[in-house]
Amino acid sequence: MSTSQKVVVVTGASQGIGAEIVKAFRKLDYRVVATARSVSPSDDPDLLTVAGDIADPATAQRVIAAAVERFGRVDTLVNNAGIFIAKPFTQYAAEDYAAAIGVNVSGFFHITQRAIAEMEKHASGHVVTITTSLVDHAIDGVPSVLASLTKGGLNAATRSLAIEYAKRGIRANAVSPGIIKSPMHAEQTHAALGALHPMGHMGEMSDIVNAVLYLDAAPFVTGEILHVDGGQSAGH
Ligand SMILES: NC(=O)c1ccc[n+]([C@@H]2O[C@H](COP(=O)([O-])OP(=O)(O)OC[C@H]3O[C@@H](n4cnc5c(N)ncnc54)[C@H](OP(=O)(O)O)[C@@H]3O)[C@@H](O)[C@H]2O)c1
């Protein structure tokens, strides 16, 4: 088993931003482990897919075990799986709360724990997590406490991990998007969503992919929350 190529694990890889991140890392000749509930098998020998619910610790266990068994190590983890449920606060159902905590928080916790345990063996690694700029600026008319509660925790956990592992060769960063043209948003909503950014338009999936690639190639950057949000977090 050759371990000269770098190995990246990408969650939420069946569509949208995650699927684009997978393509970008393959172009850079990384070996990729892609996971989501509905991810499809691949003919590419350097792309392993593992289907599962990221909220389930057993999925995290299977994904990291498969990465190590097939490719020998884990260099980068991209925590991209996420759900967004916008509702007035008092209308959130118990199922909404459980789903947001399950995917966004448990889905980060279990796989990050297992990935960092592998990275520690080589004193090297990088965890990059996709959050949201709603954490820094709530928007009138877009009630989304569950996004702020869960992704705000991920920004804080990113800084905490960065400090805990700063002297041990493992970096932790986040990309904080504005609203991005992905399958999450129907095309007829794009004009209204674009107007929520100082730049007046939505972001492209490539904007987020490029930020992830930058952070992965930036050895002196850790604990960074990189806003890629058309100016949203800067002000209105
Ligand atoms: N698009 C935006 O405007 C925007 C803005 C800010 C932040 N973000 C964040 O960016 C990330 C990617 O978003 P996107 O726009 O690409 O969304 P998307 O098109 O809805 O894709 C979400 C991905 O997450 C996976 N996923 C959802 N629930 C899962 C579960 N229980 N277990 C495993 N995988 C699960 C989905 O795969 P399966 O359904 O196959 O499981 C899918 O691959 C998310 O973290 C999102 O919060 C997006």
Domain ranges for the chain:
7-226
Amino acid 4: pLDDT: 76
For ligand 1, atom 5: residue with the closest CA = 179
Percentage of residues in the chain with pLDDT exceeding 90?
98
Identify the sign of the CA torsion 114, 116, 120, 124: positive
CA 131 to centroid of ligand 1, rounded, Å: 11
In short, whether 134's Cβ falls inside 6 Å of ligand 1 is no
Amino acid 200: pLDDT: 98
pLDDT in tens, 84-131: 999 999 999 999 999 999 999 999 999 999 999 999 999 999 999 999
pLDDT in tens, 33-67: 999 999 999 999 999 999 999 999 999 999 999 99
Amino acid 33: pLDDT: 99
Amino acid 3: pLDDT: 55
pTM of structure: 0.98
Amino acid 115: pLDDT: 99
CA 83 to centroid of ligand 1, rounded, Å: 5
SS3 (DSSP) at 15? coil
Average pLDDT of the chain is 97
| Ligand 1 atom at shortest distance from the alpha carbon of 147 | 47
Q: Which of 79, 184, 228 to mutate to test the pocket of ligand 1 (most atoms within 8 A of CB)?
A: 184
CA 12 to centroid of ligand 1, rounded, Å: 5
The topology under which CATH files domain 7-226 is Rossmann fold (3.40.50)
H helices, E strands: number in the chain: 7, 7
Amino acid 190: pLDDT: 97
Computed on alpha carbons and rounded to an integer, the radius of gyration of the chain in Å comes to 17
Identify the sign of the CA torsion 154, 160, 162, 168: negative
Got the DSSP string for 186-204?
Answer: -GGGHHHHHTTSTTSSPBP
For ligand 1, atom 13: residue with the closest CA = 17
> Which residues have C-beta within 8 Å of that of residue 36, sequence separation ≥ 6?
11, 12, 13, 14, 15, 18, 51, 54, 81
Q: Which residues pair with 85 in a beta bridge?
A: none
The b-or-e profile of 36-70 (16+ CB within 10 A means b, else e) is: beebeeeeeebbbbbbbebbeeebbebbbebbbee
CA 53 to centroid of ligand 1, rounded, Å: 12
| Ligand 1 atom at shortest distance from the alpha carbon of 19 | 43
Per-residue pLDDT for 216 more than 90?
yes
Per-residue pLDDT for 2 more than 60?
no
In short, whether 179's Cβ falls inside 6 Å of ligand 1 is yes
In short, whether 177's Cβ falls inside 6 Å of ligand 1 is yes
In short, whether 128's Cβ falls inside 6 Å of ligand 1 is no
